Homo-oligomer: A and B are copies of this chain.
Amino acid sequence: MDFFDELGSAGLGSRLRRLSEVVTSQAAEVYELYHVAFEPRWFPVFYVVATEPGRHVGDIAERIGQTHAAVSQVVKDLVKHELVQVQRGETDQRRSVISLTEKGAALWPALQQQTADVRQATETLLAETRHNLWLAIGEMEYALSRQSLGSRVKAIRDARVGSAVRIREYEPQFQPDFKRLNIEWIERYFRVEEPDLKALDHPEEYILQPGGRILLAEYQGQIVGACALLRMDADTVELAKMAVSPAAQGLGIGFRLGEAAIAQARALGSKRLYLESNTKLAPAIQLYHKLGFRKTVAGQPSPYERCNIQMELVLQEVKG
């Protein structure tokens, strides 16, 4: 208890498990109280079999929200205790249709009575509390189905990282970082080509002087991402040399760089932003898509071997 208070709601999963264990074991005591040879986990299956005859395993599983495997196992137990029996389906021989045995049918009224008692006890119990557990569970299930815990945490992390990421203009001292980040991923997936080295070794000459831009992402005092805009013609700019260090991937840094690059392209008066990539780089393609880029049908020839896809983002519709 102590510990959970300290840890806070991050331990929600464990805490739920612990409570479910307490409730389950106390439920088992209830069956003892009624001296009924019956295990709590049988109940959902038995209930469906008793109230809705003619159902088969998969059917029951769907009804009670468990897997067919769980139902199959419970049925096996129930058969062993002679409470239900299994028949092959008439129309469909694959089905296991479950029905009560005489012994099972004899047990049912007592079980119903007991369930009514348990329900009443639980309802009194819930009424004792200020925060209704039953309703809280329902709301939580709904909230989690709308958005998973993972994506909620991701949103929080992205917000935190976002405010700690600084997008910077190129300065000469960043040339080694710019080169390192790009060489890293090119070597990982492809091989470094001649045009790469030119641009990475002499960015001022090959990128900035022709009217392009270089952007860098700084996170926790380190340069962890980079990208470049290359001037193609009056209306078109190419987005290239996009790189994020592996350690900083998944933090939304690529997206921040992309946004900044698009803003820059607009500022340069470009009407169309264009890029080349490779379908092997699925996360990158996904990122570009998220930024608004769409695949172009027929494109210019590329100077790079590794490119097999071209994408573009229209910044300003050309009036036709």
Q: Which residues of A are in contact with B by a Cβ distance under 8 Å?
A: 1-4, 7-20, 22-24, 26-27, 29-30, 32-35, 40-41, 43-44, 47, 63-65, 114-115, 117-126, 128-141, 143-144, 148-150, 152-157, 160, 250
Identify A119's interface contact among B8, B22, B65, B141, CB under 8 A.
B8
Is A137 a contact partner of B133 (Cβ separation < 8 A)? yes
Interchain CA distance A120-B18 in the complex, whole Å: 22
Identify A152's interface contact among B7, B63, B65, B124, CB under 8 A.
B124
A35 CB to nearest B CB, Å:
7
- Given A3-B63, A7-B44, A16-B137, A149 contacting B122 (CB threshold 8 A): yes
Is B44 a contact partner of A117 (Cβ separation < 8 A)? no
Is B3 a contact partner of A65 (Cβ separation < 8 A)? yes
- Given A22-B141, A123-B9, A149-B27, A131 contacting B131 (CB threshold 8 A): yes
Residues on B with C-beta less than 8 A from A2 are 63, 65
Interchain CA distance A138-B9 in the complex, whole Å: 12
Is A13 a contact partner of B24 (Cβ separation < 8 A)? yes
Residues on B with C-beta less than 8 A from A64 are 3
Residues on B with C-beta less than 8 A from A18 are 65
A104 CB to nearest B CB, Å:
18
Residues on B with C-beta less than 8 A from A135 are 130-131
Is A156 a contact partner of B8 (Cβ separation < 8 A)? no
Is A11 a contact partner of B117 (Cβ separation < 8 A)? no
- For the complex with contacts A20-B20, A121-B153, A125-B143, 20 further pairs of A-B residues with Cβ separation under 8 Å are A10-B115, A12-B134, A13-B24, A14-B41, A16-B20, A19-B137, A22-B141, A22-B144, A26-B150, A29-B150, A32-B150, A33-B157, A117-B157, A122-B149, A124-B156, A125-B140, A129-B143, A130-B139, A133-B137, A133-B139
